[in-house]
Each structure stands twice: as C-alpha cells, then as structure tokens.
C-alpha cells in the first residue's frame, strides 16, 4: 500500500487542485475591455442585454441582475414582502446566505430537514413547518440537482406563499423538461467564480411576475421611483432600497460566459460520469444522485463516507486528501449550527438529524469545467489511495 502524503508519503500531485474555479478566456477579456471603453461602465446597455440573454436561456419573462447572489436573495425576500414576524422555510444544508437573506428582512428562517437521497429540502418536512406566519419558501437546488418543485409549488400555491428558488448551483438544470428559472415565483442565481458562469461577483433574480419585477428594479436601485411628470430630474423614495447594482463590464463578461455555458455543463457532467464510474464499486463511498425527472448541472460533487466501513472519520480523511493536494471542501456547515442561529432562534445540534448525518459524512471533490483529464485522474487516484489506507 502506498504511503499517504499525510504520513510523509509523496502526494498524488504537485500543487493544490481547487474544488472550484472560473474559466476566463481571451474572448471574455476582450468583451470586458470593449465594455470598459464604452460611455457607461455601470448602468450601461450590457446590463439589460445580459438580463435578456439569461432570462431567455432559462425561460423566464424578466430578469434583474444585481451585485451578487446574496443581494439577489435579499431583494427577492424583500419584494415577496418578508418582514418582521414572518417565517421563511429553507434548507439547513445550504450556504448561510439563503437564511441570512431572511434575517436581513426581519424575518425568521425556519428550517425543514433534507431528504437523504437528494440532499434537498424534504417537502414532507416543509408541510410540518408551515404556520400562518409562513410567507415564503426558499428551496435550494443542492449541488445543481433540482428540488421536488411540483410538490413545493403545490404546497405554496394553496396558501399564497411565495417560492424563491435558490438556484445558485443550478443554472441550466432542468426539472421535468423545464429549465430552472421558469418554475418558481422567483429564481435566484449567483455568478461567483465557482458557479456555472461568472461575472466576478454577481447575481440575478428571474421571474414571470411583472409586479415582482417592477419592485426588484426599484429595490436594487436605492428605492428610487422616477416621476418625470414632475421634472426630468425628479424621483421619490417610498421605501429605502439598496444599491445592489452590478456594473456593465461585469455583464459583458457574463454575456461572453453565457456563450460557453452549455459546454461548461457538458464538461461537468462528463467529469461526474468519470467519478461515478470510478466510485460506484467502492462500498465506503456514496456518490451523489440525480433526481428522477431532473437534469442536474452539478455545481458540486459531494461524496458521503460510509463510516461503518472506515477506520477514520471525515476530518481525518479530509486532511489526508488535502495532503495529497486535492482541494476538497465541505458543503455546508448546517445553518442551525452557526452561533447566530443558535442564539437568536434557539436551534441546537440534533434538531435536523438527516442534515447532520449528511454533514458528518460529506466531502466535496473538485469539480469545474477547466479540470483536465489528468486532474480528474488525480482526484480518483487520491480518493482510492486514502480509502484503501483507512478501509476497515
């Protein structure tokens, strides 16, 4: 058996392979430079053009681009009317921003446990958490695998609850043949460098609802409502909004990236197939699932360790993989474990057993379109090497 790097052996590769990474090419750079040479570097025409391209791709009527995905979630909660006294149900296994956005609006994030197979919020658990105060649901398409959207939309529709889908992982994904972005009342995207396309920082809200759209335009631009009948300069603030604007040159980058989105997704799925094939016979590892009727776009590839078959815990295996120069990660520390959520809302370990069990066993392997076949082979080799060393 080969000596593990963590025990002084030779690492599988030189140089750390990150878990996610952007792919910027010369055309992207040229697009940004072109935009920077224009008259308006913020609020220029590239913004509307980018919004139009993403909305069309996702099958949504309207889109509002903003400065990041967190601002997009915040804006969506605000225009859905989330305010003090309201409850919003989301998943414990998500980036904290999904819950933080509710807090920004004065609301209470209520968590509903996940399904063991998809790692997505369990609709049966949502139903248990409904109260007359429930104002919105924020399902998160974990890792790019869509939630059970028909059921979630049904739960919400009967009760006039707004569904804000956190699709930060799921640009391009499909549910029953429909593109993500065309189903929920509002769908939120992120263009952080590790996501499917990047604008550096950036985010977007997609909707078919004209009223939400108009409110989003106002909210992300200070709350400014123009009243030209009172003079060209004149505007009013009915309700203070935020400056959540994105810049024109970021949208130029986004548009250029959109041209390669389908290729990016294809490459991600190719790598996933290689991982699935490599690990399908490894009893110590559970590989991610693609839900029925869904086409996932795999922002993340999370393996779960079957602890009963291993001599080492998750932390030890994580450290061993890092020592092999595989930039593994963990997604995510459950929302209810964060000190703020414990103190403010009284959550405690044990509240969400399925989420916690998942969290204790999860390791995210590197996955991004620019990975070479050699990178993929290195990951597979390192995982096999480490599992072999710690096999019971």
Ligand X SMILES: *Cc1c(COP(=O)(O)O)cnc(C)c1O
Strand ranges, E, within the chain: 62-66, 87-90, 108-111, 134-138, 162-166, 174-175, 178-179, 186-190, 203-207, 224-226, 235-237, 285-286, 294-295, 301-305, 362-365
Q: What angle do CA 135, 141, 144 make, to 5 degrees?
A: 160
- Residue placing its CB nearer to ligand X in the complex, 140 or 205: 140
Kind of pairing, strands 362-365 and 301-305?
antiparallel
133: Cβ–Cβ under 8 A, 6 or more apart, which residues?
A: 85, 86, 87, 108
Q: What is the token pair recorded at 107? A: 């609301």
- Residue placing its CB nearer to ligand X in the complex, 13 or 74: 74
- The site for ligand X (CB under 6 A) is made up of 68-70, 94-95, 97-98, 140, 166, 168-169, 190, 192, 203
374: Cβ–Cβ under 8 A, 6 or more apart, which residues?
A: none
- Residue placing its CB nearer to ligand X in the complex, 193 or 241: 193
Compute the distance between CA of residue 74 and CA of residue 97 in angstroms, rounded to an integer: 9
Q: Please, what is the minimum distance in Å from the beta carbon of residue 321 to ligand X? A: 22
- Residue placing its CB nearer to ligand X in the complex, 166 or 284: 166
Q: What is the DSSP string of 180-219?
A: TTSSSSEEEEE--TTSSS--SS-EEEEES-HHHHHHHHHH
Other CB atoms within 10 Å distance of the CB of residue 230: 10
- Residue placing its CB nearer to ligand X in the complex, 113 or 324: 113
Q: What is the DSSP string of 117-158?
A: TT-SBPHHHHHHH--TTEEEEE-B-GGG----HHHHHHHHHT
Q: Please, what is the minimum distance in Å from the beta carbon of residue 29 to ligand X? A: 21
- Residue placing its CB nearer to ligand X in the complex, 188 or 371: 188
Q: Please, what is the minimum distance in Å from the beta carbon of residue 145 to ligand X? A: 12
- Residue placing its CB nearer to ligand X in the complex, 11 or 193: 193
Q: Please, what is the minimum distance in Å from the beta carbon of residue 331 to ligand X? A: 8
**Do the Cβ atoms of 184 and 196 come closer than 8 Å?**
no
Q: Please, what is the minimum distance in Å from the beta carbon of residue 147 to ligand X? A: 12
Q: Please, what is the minimum distance in Å from the beta carbon of residue 142 to ligand X? A: 8
377: Cβ–Cβ under 8 A, 6 or more apart, which residues?
A: none
Q: Please, what is the minimum distance in Å from the beta carbon of residue 95 to ligand X? A: 4
Q: Please, what is the minimum distance in Å from the beta carbon of residue 368 to ligand X? A: 14
Q: What is the token pair recorded at 207? A: 């909707």
Compute the distance between CA of residue 261 and CA of residue 212 in angstroms, rounded to an integer: 27
- Residue placing its CB nearer to ligand X in the complex, 74 or 295: 74
- Residue placing its CB nearer to ligand X in the complex, 147 or 379: 147
Q: What angle do CA 104, 107, 109 make, to 5 degrees?
A: 95
Q: Please, what is the minimum distance in Å from the beta carbon of residue 229 to ligand X? A: 37
């Amino acid at each position: 058996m080969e000596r593990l790097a963590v025990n002084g052996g030779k690492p599988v590769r030189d140089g750390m392979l990150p878990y996610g990474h952007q792919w910027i090419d010369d055309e992207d750079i040229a697009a940004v430079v072109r935009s920077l040479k224009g008259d308006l570097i913020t609020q220029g025409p590239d913004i509307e053009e980018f919004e139009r391209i993403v909305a069309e791709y996702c099958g949504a009527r309207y889109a509002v681009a903003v400065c990041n995905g967190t601002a997009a979630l915040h804006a969506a909660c605000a225009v859905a009317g989330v305010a003090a006294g309201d409850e919003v149900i989301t998943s414990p296994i998500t980036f904290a921003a999904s819950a933080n956005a509710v807090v920004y609006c004065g609301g209470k994030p209520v968590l509903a446990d996940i399904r063991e197979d998809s790692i997505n919020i369990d609709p049966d658990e949502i139903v248990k958490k409904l109260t007359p105060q429930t104002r919105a649901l924020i399902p998160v398409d974990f890792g790019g695998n869509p939630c059970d959207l028909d059921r979630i939309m049904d739960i919400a529709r009967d009760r006039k609850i707004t569904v804000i889908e956190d699709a930060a992982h799921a640009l391009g994904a499909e549910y029953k043949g429909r593109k993500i972005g065309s189903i929920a009342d509002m769908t939120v995207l992120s263009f952080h460098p590790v996501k499917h396309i990047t604008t550096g920082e950036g985010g977007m809200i997609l909707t078919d609802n004209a009223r939400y759209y108009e409110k989003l335009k106002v909210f992300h631009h200070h709350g400014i409502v123009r009243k030209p009948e009172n003079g060209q300069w004149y505007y009013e603030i009915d309700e203070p909004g935020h400056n959540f604007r994105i810049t024109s040159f970021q949208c130029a980058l986004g548009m250029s990236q959109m041209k390669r989105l389908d290729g990016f997704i294809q490459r991600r799925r190719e790598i996933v197939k290689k991982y699935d094939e490599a690990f399908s016979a490894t009893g110590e590892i559970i590989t991610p699932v693609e839900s029925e009727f869904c086409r996932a776009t795999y922002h993340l590839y999370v393996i779960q360790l079957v602890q009963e078959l291993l001599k080492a815990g998750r932390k030890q295996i994580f450290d061993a993989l890092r020592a092999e120069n595989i930039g593994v990660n963990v997604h995510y520390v459950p929302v209810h474990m964060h000190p703020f959520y414990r103190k403010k809302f009284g959550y405690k370990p044990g509240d969400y057993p399925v989420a916690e069990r998942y969290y204790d066993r999860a390791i995210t392997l590197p996955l991004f379109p620019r990975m070479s076949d050699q990178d993929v082979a290195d990951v597979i080799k390192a995982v096999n090497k480490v599992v072999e060393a710690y096999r019971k």
